[in-house]
């Protein structure tokens, strides 16, 4: 009788623990099947380039970026890069990584995002501590703004130096890509084709500098907004145009009320999908 009582008590305890278990996120593959972090990591470590799509204000995505970086660094030589640094700030970033300026100096010299201290400094500091190259991959925003107002043609007017901070001209562009068509639809006629072209100028430039900094045999992890790489478009489209032989993987972030099954609308967005509880606190 005592054994039965203990057995029932144990079952009740386990049931209670699982009932109270509220994970903040669940990992899925492209088909919507749950996968373990270990499984995802094993796949990523076999690639050449990983595009890690985030929600810029999502704490879970930022935490996982750092964890994935650390764990991949244990088995692979890394190169890192991020949308959050524009290419004309590469010198300032390099000086910080080399210890020639401090965090305050970096803040003065580079156009850091407002959430840099909480969300991106940990990645940059990890690179600094472990002597890992970190690429500033994005087009300077003032040039993307030119495209949004006047199209790709405005980039032809830039100086020779300025053109070194963007993808080589002319920039290839497919207006039929769903992501770019969606941007045009969202603008409801405002800006015409120039708004998706501005997005493309960012995607093309990030792809260009990812390949410029990629080292054969290494793993390049790139941090970018989810929209820049989800549905295997954006940055990845440009990467595959230039280097189809490399092995790529994509990660994206989505938010759902119920994270225990992936909504059909979120399936197929990336090789791995971080499904975060929509009640998760934002970093800003």
- Quick one: how far is CA 217 from the chain centroid? 21
Number of helical (H) and strand (E) elements in the chain, helices listed first: 11, 7
261 in Cβ contact with 283 (< 8 Å): no
| Structure-block tokens of residue 166 | 């963007």
Which domains can be identified in the chain, with CATH numbers? 25-277 (3.40.50.11550)
Per residue in 87-134, pLDDT (tens digit) is 999 999 999 999 999 999 999 999 999 999 999 999 999 999 999 999
Distance CA 99, CA 20 (A): 46
- Nearest to 206, CA basis, from 242, 179, 181: 242
What is the model's pLDDT at position 187?
79
What is the model's pLDDT at position 2?
45
Q: How confident is the model at residue 186 (pLDDT cuts 50, 70, 90)?
A: confident
Q: How confident is the model at residue 16 (pLDDT cuts 50, 70, 90)?
A: very low
278 in Cβ contact with 253 (< 8 Å): no
Q: How far is CA 260 from CA 17, 53, 66, 212, 270, in A?
A: 17, 21, 24, 40, 18
- As a whole number, mean pLDDT of residues 68-93 equals 98
- As a whole number, mean pLDDT of residues 146-173 equals 98
**Start-to-end CA span in the chain (Å):** 56
| Structure-block tokens of residue 158 | 């830039």
Q: Sheet holding 78-86: strands in order across?
A: 25-29, 272-277, 248-256, 49-54, 219-225, 78-86, 134-138
Distance CA 16, CA 213 (A): 50
Query: How are beta strands 78-86 and 272-277 bridged, if at all?
Result: unpaired
Q: Which residues, other chains included, contact 76 with Cβ-Cβ below 8 Å and sequence gap of 6+?
A: 45, 218, 219
pLDDT at 248 over 90: yes
């Amino acid at each position: 009788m005592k054994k039965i009582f203990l057995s029932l008590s144990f079952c009740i305890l386990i049931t209670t623990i699982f009932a109270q278990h509220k994970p903040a996120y669940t990992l899925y593959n492209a088909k919507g099947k749950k996968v373990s972090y270990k499984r995802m990591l094993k796949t990523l470590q076999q690639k050449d380039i990983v595009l890690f799509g985030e929600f810029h204000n999502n704490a879970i995505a930022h935490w996982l970026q750092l964890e994935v970086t650390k764990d991949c660094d244990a088995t692979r030589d890394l190169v890192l890069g991020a949308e959050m640094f524009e290419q004309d700030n590469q010198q300032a970033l390099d000086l910080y990584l080399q210890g020639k300026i401090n965090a305050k100096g970096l803040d003065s010299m580079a156009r850091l995002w407002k959430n840099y201290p909480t969300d991106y400094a940990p990645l940059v500091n990890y690179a600094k501590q472990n002597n890992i190259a970190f690429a500033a991959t994005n087009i300077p925003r003032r040039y993307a703004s030119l495209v949004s107002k006047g199209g790709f043609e405005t980039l032809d007017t830039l100086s020779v130096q300025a053109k070194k901070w963007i993808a080589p001209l002319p920039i290839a562009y497919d207006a039929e890509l769903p992501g770019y068509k969606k941007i045009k639809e969202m603008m409801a006629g405002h800006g015409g084709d120039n708004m998706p072209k501005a997005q493309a100028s960012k995607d093309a430039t990030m792809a260009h500098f990812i390949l410029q900094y990629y080292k054969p045999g290494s793993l390049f992890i790139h941090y970018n907004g989810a929209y820049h790489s989800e549905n295997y478009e954006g940055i990845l489209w440009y990467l595959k145009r230039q280097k189809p032989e490399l092995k790529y993987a994509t990660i994206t972030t989505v938010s759902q009320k119920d994270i225990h099954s992936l909504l059909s609308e979120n399936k197929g967005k990336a090789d791995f999908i971080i499904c975060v509880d929509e009640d998760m606190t934002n970093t800003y």
